[in-house]
Amino acid sequence: MQITDEQVFEKLFREYYSGLCNYAGRFVFDQQVAEDIVQNYFITIWEKGQLPVTDETFLPYSYRAIRNSCINYYKSEIIADDFYSTLTLEWKEQLEEESDFIHKEEVQAALRKLPEKCRNVFLLKCITGLKYKEIAELSDISVNTVKYHLGEAFRIMREELKNISFLLFPIFF
């Protein structure tokens, strides 16, 4: 598909920009970062001038490219020391938003008891909603290791929150 025609590019941008931003927002919780990812995607399309897709395959191709860009964003964030603390903060903020949820401290205490690797995988799953394979790519571990850490995290959380688990697990897990 030739993208060098300004009208074709503008049509694609107007038609898909908002939806692609919403899609990126499912992976990246900062709306500005999601918009930046989508804008960079369209800039790349414009600079290349041509895409190896047709009108029918543009949207699936775009979803895949945006998803990969979001994963790459998280990979670059993992390099930064405060990435997991940011995820922990987002988790706490989600709990805070549940104003009628009276067990916030218990959940936060249980989260602190998780081993670091279990906690990191748990947060990637619960906060970002990434799939096992995506978590494995981000964390540079195997899918089976992701499954192990999630299983361990859920086991510990279940044990730590056994007195309130009947309330928690349908909501958070």
Pair 88, 149 in one domain? yes
Is the confidence at residue 78, as pLDDT, over 80? no
Give yes or no: residues 103 and 70 share one domain: no
CATH code, 150: 1.10.10.10
Domain-located, residue 59: yes
Does the pLDDT of residue 81 top 60, yes or no? no
- Higher pLDDT among residues 12 and 100, named by residue: 12
More confident residue, 109 or 65: 65
pLDDT given at position 90: 63
Q: Rounded to the nearest 5°, which phi and psi values hold at 162? A: -60, -30
Q: What is the mean pLDDT of the chain?
A: 78
Note whether residue 1 is domain-resident. no
* 60-93 CB burial, b ≥16 within 10 A, e <16: ebbeebbbebbbebbeebbeeeebbeebbebbee
pLDDT band at 170 (very low <50, low <70, confident <90, very high): very low
150 and 87 in a single domain? The answer is yes
- Rounded to 5 degrees, φ, ψ at 102 are -85, -5
Query: In this structure, are residues 168 and 107 in contact, taking their beta carbons and an 8 Å threshold?
Result: yes
Please state the separation of Cα 77 from the chain's center in Å.
Answer: 12
**Whether residue 168 has pLDDT greater than 50:** no
Give the residue with greater pLDDT, 40 vs 127: 40
Percent of the chain with pLDDT over 90: 17
pLDDT at 171 (0 to 100) = 42
In a domain, 44, yes or no: yes
Based on the fold, state whether residues 62 and 87 are members of the same structural domain: no
Q: Give the model confidence (pLDDT) of 23-62 as tens digits.
A: 998 888 788 989 999 999 988 888 777 766 677 788 888 9
CB neighbours of 149 closer than 8 A, spacing ≥ 6?
A: 117, 118, 120, 121, 122, 141
Question: What integer is the mean pLDDT of 1-23?
Answer: 81
pLDDT for position 3: 56
Contact of 169 with 158, CB cutoff 8 Å: yes
66 and 87 inside one domain: no
Are 38 and 68 in the same domain?
yes
The pLDDT, as a whole number, for residue 91 is 60
- Residue 153 Ramachandran class (φ > 0 left, ψ -120 to 50 alpha, else beta): alpha
| Among the listed residues 138, 90, 29, 53, the one whose alpha carbon sits nearest the alpha carbon of residue 41 | 53
What is the helix (H) or strand (E) element at residue 115, kind and residue range? Answer: none
Q: Are residues 31 and 102 in the same domain?
A: no
pTM of the predicted model, to two decimals? 0.51
Indicate if 91 and 61 belong to the same structural domain: no
Domain shared by 58 and 98, yes or no: no
The 10s digit of each residue's pLDDT in 85-107 is 666 666 666 656 655 556 667 77
Count: domains in the chain: 2
Last residue of a domain, one of 45, 79, 113: 79
Q: Which domain holds residue 168?
A: 83-172
Could you tell me if 124 and 94 lie in one domain? Answer: yes
Residue 149 pLDDT level (bands cut at 50, 70, 90)? very high
